[in-house]
């Protein structure tokens, strides 16, 4: 370990084909990639040859934490899970899912920074990790069971304080739209079936160790308090959603929805969230009720409390209690989730009595989240539900199914918005039952291919939110202009980048955002008002690059890119500025590796470049600009009929987007013509061997 703090020191490898278990030194092999996605991409580059398919034993699935996991750094509970993605269409490519909960911290306390799984067990197994004891156990008794009971069974063996990451029937049945789930609701989407293909039902982990902080204790505590002082609410929204006595600004659209009179009504003793003055860091957990944000104010009375990840004060997973669902549907009255997971059920319905935010909508969501998180079905960031509605109301389902299979579904229940319909649909997806169950579980790209539907047509329908390669937009151009568009070009799944959107939706008025943007990206032109987009500007390309680097940095350090970055704060006395150096300050003090912000950003860029290199290598082409970084047609359309860059229009201008791509590739040191990094750029970031390998394959411009 050479005296570094932060890292646990070992990367655990398990070959399920042979049963071999061994460890590598994290620092020796991976320090220059930090952890998380950095370790994931490095393993994929070194060990998984091009042409490997997701379910091949040669594919790896890497559960990787970063040097801040298991420390007291705020929002440091993330595990990045990297592998070849089964839903990436038409060719599976590298991508990562991200899981919160306690898994990352427990893994670190057991002494490991990452787990690399390869091979395929000859029977269902689960992996038990208890400090130095690592064992492969028979999983026949839990194979075929849902995630809840499998998790409970393993916790019975390992103890209630263990962390378990498991797949449901969906992952076992190699349904591409599958999750890995840890704790009650912390899921990593899209990759459960890769575990299933290896006959690996679950990983249970418990550790009795701790993580050493390299810096002085007093300095670390001071830094943590400083970081906490900059925190806002969920998604780093820094202005409250309603006027508060302490607040200069408010914004009804932020997730800081605490207010005097807003109560966790289903708590044993109902709790008033209060006004939540930002200087009171002991009340950060009260600032957001994510369920109320998504499901409407009616859920305040169903709210038990917020829940969340190790070392995160934000608690973005809301625990809800809805007693009526027990009697009506036979599911637990209590459930929890966040973001799209909260809306999993109701989103399937075009019509629902009382609307999506009504009582039936809430029941549908309770049914949806319980079924999805037990069966292990992934929604592809809501694409599954949007596709389903389009396919049903467009008559495609009726056309594609046999009369017999079509008749097995209670479509009248569906049209009436009856949550019971979900019991007919979701188990069939998890079981790959029939044509419909099978096709819905494929993910959008393979679904379109199987049913001979046009991806181009899918990309014209803005309501579908489809972007490319089988995945939807994730905070794209309609909310973040050119910056959002550029971010959505890069990844092989939905972009899952929140750096930019957390800034532009932080609730501060535009003139304050522009002042902060000038300090961060060199010009106020970096940010526009929503629906008041302006032509491309160099600072927008800088912001897009920054957003991606922060994402990779967070994913590699175990920080949460849903909660950060922390470049704005709720503090009026700071002019609402946050601190763009917080990641490097935490990293430096935790590990003892004296990298400043620029040096750490260079590591993030190395990691990001490796992702691009893997994409290019495995696609076998360097023509990224035309063959990978695609843009759906809806981006250029607006129902108002107005030209781009007029108020109220959110569409982009084709010529302007070409300029945007040029500037973006230039900022990254990539070849403008192809969108591929140049050999020089690879070398600049210490990836000379990658440059050589790609050059050999004629995949790297000079």
Which parts of this chain interact with another protein (CB under 8 A)? 242-253, 259-262, 275, 294, 297, 339-340, 343, 355-356, 382, 465, 473-476, 478-479, 509-510, 529-532, 640, 642, 647-650
* 19 vs 243 by CB, closer to another protein: 243
Please state, in angstroms and as integers, the Cα–Cα distance from residue 689 to each residue in 15, 419, 686, following that order: 26, 54, 8
CB of 652 to another protein, least distance (A): 15
Classify the C-alpha dihedral 10-14-15-18 as positive or negative: positive
Q: What does the DSSP 8-state code read for residue 9?
A: S
Angle (CA) 534 536 541, round 5°: 130
CB of 86 to another protein, least distance (A): 23
CB of 578 to another protein, least distance (A): 20
CB of 245 to another protein, least distance (A): 5
* 556 vs 561 by CB, closer to another protein: 561
CB of 509 to another protein, least distance (A): 5
Q: Which residues of 531-543 are buried (b: 16+ CB within 10 A; e: fewer)?
A: eebebbbbbbbbb
* 120 vs 237 by CB, closer to another protein: 237
For residues 348 and 429, what is the distance between their CA atoms, to the nearest angstrom? 13
For residues 530 and 537, what is the distance between their CA atoms, to the nearest angstrom? 16
For residues 532 and 360, what is the distance between their CA atoms, to the nearest angstrom? 37
For residues 188 and 448, what is the distance between their CA atoms, to the nearest angstrom? 24
* 531 vs 535 by CB, closer to another protein: 531
Please state, in angstroms and as integers, the Cα–Cα distance from residue 549 to each residue in 557, 559, 602, 675, following that order: 12, 13, 9, 17
CB of 346 to another protein, least distance (A): 11
Helix (DSSP H) and strand (DSSP E) numbers for the chain: 29, 19
466 forms beta bridges with 472
Largest CA distance in the chain: 71
CB of 473 to another protein, least distance (A): 8
Closest CA to 128 of 207, 182, 220: 207
* 490 vs 589 by CB, closer to another protein: 490
Contacts (Cβ under 8 Å, ≥6 apart) of 144? 169, 172
For residues 531 and 177, what is the distance between their CA atoms, to the nearest angstrom? 33
Q: What does the DSSP 8-state code read for residue 197?
A: H
CB of 423 to another protein, least distance (A): 25
Closest CA to 101 of 171, 156, 161: 161
CB of 340 to another protein, least distance (A): 5
CB of 472 to another protein, least distance (A): 9
Q: Is 284 helix (H, G, I), strand (E, B) or coil?
A: helix
CB of 490 to another protein, least distance (A): 18
Please state, in angstroms and as integers, the Cα–Cα distance from residue 301 to each residue in 252, 313, 323, 366, 481, following that order: 20, 22, 12, 15, 37
CB of 525 to another protein, least distance (A): 17
Q: How many CA atoms lie within 13 A of 169 on its CB side?
A: 17
* The pairing of beta strand 61-64 with beta strand 20-25: unpaired
For residues 88 and 85, what is the distance between their CA atoms, to the nearest angstrom? 5
For residues 127 and 212, what is the distance between their CA atoms, to the nearest angstrom? 26
For residues 299 and 305, what is the distance between their CA atoms, to the nearest angstrom? 11
CB of 557 to another protein, least distance (A): 24
128 forms beta bridges with 135, 204
């Amino acid at each position: 370990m050479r005296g570094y703090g932060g890292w646990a020191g070992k990367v655990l490898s398990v070959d399920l084909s042979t049963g071999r278990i061994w460890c590598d030194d994290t620092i020796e092999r991976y320090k220059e990639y930090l952890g998380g996605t950095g370790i994931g991409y490095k393993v994929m580059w070194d060990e998984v040859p091009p042409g490997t398919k997701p379910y091949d034993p040669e594919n790896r699935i890497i559960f990787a934490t970063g040097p801040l996991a298991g420390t007291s750094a705020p929002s440091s509970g993330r595990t990045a899970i990297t592998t070849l993605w089964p839903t990436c269409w038409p060719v599976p490519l590298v991508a990562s899912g991200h899981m919160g909960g306690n898994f990352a911290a427990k893994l670190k306390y057991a002494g490991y920074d990452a787990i690399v799984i390869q091979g395929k067990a000859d029977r269902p197994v689960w992996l038990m990790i208890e400090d130095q004891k690592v064992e492969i156990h028979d999983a026949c008794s839990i194979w075929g069971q849902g995630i809840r009971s499998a998790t409970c069974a393993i916790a019975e063996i390992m103890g209630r304080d263990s962390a378990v990451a498991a797949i449901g029937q969906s992952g076992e049945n190699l349904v591409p739209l599958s999750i890995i789930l840890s704790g009650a609701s912390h899921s990593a989407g899209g990759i459960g079936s890769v575990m299933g293909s290896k006959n690996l039902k679950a990983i249970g982990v418990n550790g009795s160790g701790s993580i050493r902080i390299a810096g002085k204790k007093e300095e670390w505590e001071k830094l943590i308090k400083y970081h906490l002082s900059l925190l806002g609410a969920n998604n780093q929204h820094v202005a409250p959603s309603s006027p508060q006595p302490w607040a200069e600004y408010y914004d009804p659209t932020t997730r800081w929805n605490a207010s005097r009179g807003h109560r966790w009504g289903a708590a044993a003793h109902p709790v008033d969230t209060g006004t939540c003055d930002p200087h009171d860091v002991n009340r950060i957990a009260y600032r957001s009720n994510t369920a109320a944000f998504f499901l409407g104010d009616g859920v305040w009375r169903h709210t038990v409390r917020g829940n969340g990840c190790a070392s995160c004060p934000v608690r973005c997973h809301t625990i809800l209690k809805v007693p009526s669902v027990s009697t009506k549907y036979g599911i637990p009255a209590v459930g929890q989730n966040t973001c799209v997971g909260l809306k999993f059920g109701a989103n399937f319905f075009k019509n629902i009595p009382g609307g999506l935010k009504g009582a039936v909508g809430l029941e549908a969501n309770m049914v949806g989240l319980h079924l999805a998180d037990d069966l292990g079905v992934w929604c592809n960031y809501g694409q599954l539900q949007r596709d389903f509605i389009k396919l049903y109301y467009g008559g495609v389902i009726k056309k594609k199914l046999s009369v017999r299979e079509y008749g097995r579904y209670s479509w009248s229940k569906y049209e009436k918005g009856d949550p019971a319909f979900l019991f007919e649909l979701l188990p069939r997806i998890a079981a790959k039952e029939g044509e419909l169950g099978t096709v819905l579980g494929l993910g959008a790209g393979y679904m379109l291919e199987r049913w001979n539907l046009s991806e181009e047509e899918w990309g014209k329908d803005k309501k579908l939110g489809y972007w490319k390669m089988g995945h939807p937009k994730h905070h794209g151009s309609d909310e973040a202009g050119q910056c959002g568009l550029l971010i959505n070009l890069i990844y092989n799944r939905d972009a899952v980048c929140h750096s930019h959107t957390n800034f532009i939706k932080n609730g501060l008025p535009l003139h304050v955002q522009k002042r902060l943007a000038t300090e961060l990206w060199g010009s106020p032109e970096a940010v526009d008002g929503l629906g008041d987009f302006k032509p491309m500007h160099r600072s927008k390309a800088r912001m897009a690059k920054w957003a991606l680097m922060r994402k990779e940095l967070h994913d590699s350090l175990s920080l949460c890119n849903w909660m950060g970055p922390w470049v704005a704060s709720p503090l009026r006395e700071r002019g609402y500025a946050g601190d763009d150096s917080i990641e490097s300050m935490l990293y430096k003090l935790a590990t003892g590796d004296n990298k400043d912000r620029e040096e750490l950003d260079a590591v993030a860029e190395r990691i990001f470049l490796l992702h691009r290199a893997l994409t290019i290598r495995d696609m076998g082409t360097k023509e990224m600009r035309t063959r990978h970084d695609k843009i759906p047609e809806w981006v250029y359309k607006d129902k108002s009929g107005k030209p781009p860059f007029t108020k109220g229009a959110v569409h982009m201008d084709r010529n302007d987007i070409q300029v945007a791509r040029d500037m973006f590739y230039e900022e990254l040191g990539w070849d403008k013509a192809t969108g591929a990094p140049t050999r020089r750029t690879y070398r600049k970031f210490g990836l000379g061997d990658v440059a050589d390998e790609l050059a050999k394959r004629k995949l790297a411009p000079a």
